[in-house]
């Protein structure tokens, strides 16, 4: 930290002896040594190495658990274990707050070619075949019947567009139709009427961009599973095949928020949070290992200096953010009116190590807390160009809606940075790993967070 810090409203967290003794008696039943904590010593403890070490752990956890840390999975559970263990080692008492939510939406969980004609080559869900729609969870094992395909020449086709295509269709079989001419809904409805147990729509194969897997939209309810397949898989199935497929309803996700408290002298608190869950498609290191690392390091370094702030500081590691802000919403809903009013500010940290960063401080939210200026000024004093941002795409939204004042930090997702590239080109992708982090920016953001927390809590 450097000289211009003087400009900033806070510098020192000073806790009066008497007050500290009372606090000691209340919270610990023993007198505590008074600690005079200045933000410099806390910020000095927050190093890039420490932050990156947390991210490496989270990446290793994803790697060991199917490549992600999604809510309700082993990867998220292991992430909670890791953060909890770090907090406990630093002396915190932690609380796990369990909740559940319905993640409706169907998934093709397996697709296999079975029977004597099965090709030895494996079919991969997501690459060769995927779900277009399914109203119910389902399990289908049946022979595939090709419906008016045109696999040669120009490959122009009206496959599955006419009721006559399904004349003689063996009820209970899986209909294999080809993309082209009419809407997917038409092919689906005619197939279902003809008694198909499932429908596979193979790509048309008439052009280079019509060979691979594709995303198709159904506007009608899919009463039977409707799948999209590559042209090649369709051609293979057309030769005669039997398929076993499973469509699952992920249904209720049971998961938990992790919470740790640094007690204050009175009843008021600063809540600092980051979502610890990620998307299913990657390790979630910038989104949101970065925010987790910043919040966790703030907690660890405050404990390391034995900080005794005036306001309590509550560190929260939310789950279910990626599915719809479920963890933070649950947290806000379970607060009593008095607890809600006792929150001085909620500070959100989501995506703060973006490789093409734009340093943003949340402001203009309609529920601003003046600490945003303290964080902005701190960043400016470090030579960081900042902008403000007003959006409700993360866990501060339920707080704002409950009229709790908020701020937060953010360095960019898929929207373009001034250099033209997305703030985070690996947003929600498999490449969101430790190499997708700007360590220096992450360090600056973590410092700004700790500085903001201290300025409010002291
Ligand atoms: N919350 C989003 C996610 O986790 C990321 C995001 C996009 C975001 N835009 C934002 C976070 C603005 C904070 C602010 O996927
Ligand atoms: Zn996020």
Q: What is the pLDDT of residue 252?
A: 82
- Please determine, for residue 36, whether its predicted confidence score (pLDDT) is greater than 80: no
Residue of 278, 413, 427 best suited for mutating to test ligand 1, as the one with most atoms within 8 Å of CB: 413
User: Are 305 and 453 in contact, with CB atoms under 8 Å apart?
Assistant: no
Enumerate residues 6+ apart whose C-beta is below 8 A from 353.
Answer: 55, 285, 286, 290, 293, 411, 436, 437, 438, 439, 441, 442, 445
- Please determine, for residue 10, whether its predicted confidence score (pLDDT) is greater than 70: no
| Residues labelled catalytic | 321
Q: Which two tokens stand for residue 161?
A: 């567009």
- Please determine, for residue 33, whether its predicted confidence score (pLDDT) is greater than 50: no
Each residue of 246-269: pLDDT tens digit?
998 777 899 999 999 999 998 899
DSSP per-residue string spanning 304-351: HTT---SSEEEEEEE-SHHHHSHHHHHHHHHS-HHHHHTEEEEEEE--
Atom of ligand 1 nearest to the CA of 413: 7
Q: Which residue has the tokens 């496959």?
A: 159
- Please determine, for residue 20, whether its predicted confidence score (pLDDT) is greater than 50: no
- Please determine, for residue 105, whether its predicted confidence score (pLDDT) is greater than 90: no
Would you say the CB of residue 410 lies under 6 angstroms from ligand 1? yes
- Calculate the average pLDDT of the chain: 90
Percent of the chain past pLDDT 70, that is, above it, reads 90
How far away, in angstroms, is 426 Cα from ligand 1 center?
13
Each residue of 71-92: pLDDT tens digit?
999 999 999 999 999 999 999 9
- Of all ligands present, the nearest one to the C-alpha of 291 is 2
Q: Whose CA is nearest to atom 1 of ligand 1?
A: 394
Q: Which two tokens stand for residue 216?
A: 């198709």
Q: What is the pLDDT of residue 29?
A: 38
User: Are 361 and 389 in contact, with CB atoms under 8 Å apart?
Assistant: yes
- Of all ligands present, the nearest one to the C-alpha of 286 is 2
Residue of 350, 392, 417 best suited for mutating to test ligand 1, as the one with most atoms within 8 Å of CB: 350
- Please determine, for residue 309, whether its predicted confidence score (pLDDT) is greater than 70: yes
Among residues 317, 316, 338, the alpha carbon closest in space to that of 267 is found at: 338
Each residue of 274-290: pLDDT tens digit?
999 999 999 999 999 99
CA distances in angstroms from 221 to 108, 110, 141, 159, listed in the order given = 16, 21, 21, 20
Each residue of 168-221: pLDDT tens digit?
999 999 999 999 999 999 999 999 999 999 999 999 999 999 999 998 888 888
Q: What is the pLDDT of residue 51?
A: 98
- Please determine, for residue 395, whether its predicted confidence score (pLDDT) is greater than 70: yes
Among residues 458, 437, 449, the alpha carbon closest in space to that of 375 is found at: 449
Give the model's confidence band at 15: pLDDT under 50 very low, under 70 low, under 90 confident, else very high. Answer: very low
Q: What is the pLDDT of residue 42?
A: 94
Q: What is the pLDDT of residue 35?
A: 36
Beta pairing partners, 256:
98
């Amino acid at each position: 930290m450097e000289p211009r810090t003087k400009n900033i409203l806070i510098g020192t967290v000073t806790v009066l002896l008497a007050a500290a003794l009372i606090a000691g008696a209340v919270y610990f039943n023993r007198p505590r040594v008074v600690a005079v904590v200045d933000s410099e010593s806390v910020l000095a403890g927050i190093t890039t190495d420490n932050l990156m070490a947390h991210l490496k752990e989270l990446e290793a956890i994803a790697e060991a658990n199917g490549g992600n840390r999604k809510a309700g999975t082993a990867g998220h559970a292991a992430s909670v274990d890791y953060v909890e263990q770090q907090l406990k080692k630093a002396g915190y008492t932690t609380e796990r707050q369990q909740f559940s939510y319905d993640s409706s939406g169907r998934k093709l969980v397996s697709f296999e070619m079975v029977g004597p004609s099965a090709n030895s080559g494996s079919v991969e869900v997501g690459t060769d075949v995927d779900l277009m729609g399914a109203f119910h969870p389902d399990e289908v094992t049946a022979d595939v019947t090709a419906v008016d395909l045109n696999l040669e020449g120009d490959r122009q086709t009206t496959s599955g567009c006419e009721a006559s295509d399904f004349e003689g269709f063996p009820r209970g079989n899986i209909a294999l139709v080809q993309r082209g001419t009419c809407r997917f809904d038409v092919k689906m409805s005619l197939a279902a009427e003809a008694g198909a147990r499932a429908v596979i729509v193979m790509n048309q194969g008439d052009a280079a961009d019509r060979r691979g897997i594709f995303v198709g939209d159904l506007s009608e309810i899919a009463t039977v599973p409707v799948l999209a397949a590559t042209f090649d898989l369709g051609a293979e199935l057309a030769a005669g095949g039997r398929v076993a497929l499973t469509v699952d309803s992920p249904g209720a996700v049971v998961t938990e928020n992790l919470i740790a408290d640094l007690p204050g002298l009175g009843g008021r608190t600063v809540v600092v949070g980051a979502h610890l869950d990620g998307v299913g498609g990657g390790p979630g290191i910038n989104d949101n290992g970065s925010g987790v690392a910043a919040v966790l390091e703030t907690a660890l370094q405050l404990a390391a200096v034995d900080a005794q702030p005036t306001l309590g500081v509550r560190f929260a590691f939310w789950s279910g953010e990626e599915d719809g802000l479920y963890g933070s919403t649950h947290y806000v809903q379970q607060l009593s009116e008095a607890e809600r009013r006792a929150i001085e500010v909620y500070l959100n940290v989501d995506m703060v190590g973006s490789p093409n960063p734009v340093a943003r401080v949340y402001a203009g939210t309609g529920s601003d807390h003046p600490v945003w200026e303290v964080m902005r000024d701190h960043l400016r004093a470090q030579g960081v160009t900042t902008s403000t941002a007003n959006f409700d795409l993360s866990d501060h939204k339920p707080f704002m809606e409950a009229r709790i004042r908020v701020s937060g930090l953010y360095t960019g997702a898929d929207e373009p940075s001034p250099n033209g590239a997305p703030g985070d080109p690996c947003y929600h992708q498999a490449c969101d790993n430790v190499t997708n982090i700007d360590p220096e920016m992450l360090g600056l953001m973590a410092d700004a967070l700790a500085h903001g927390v201290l300025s409010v809590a002291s």
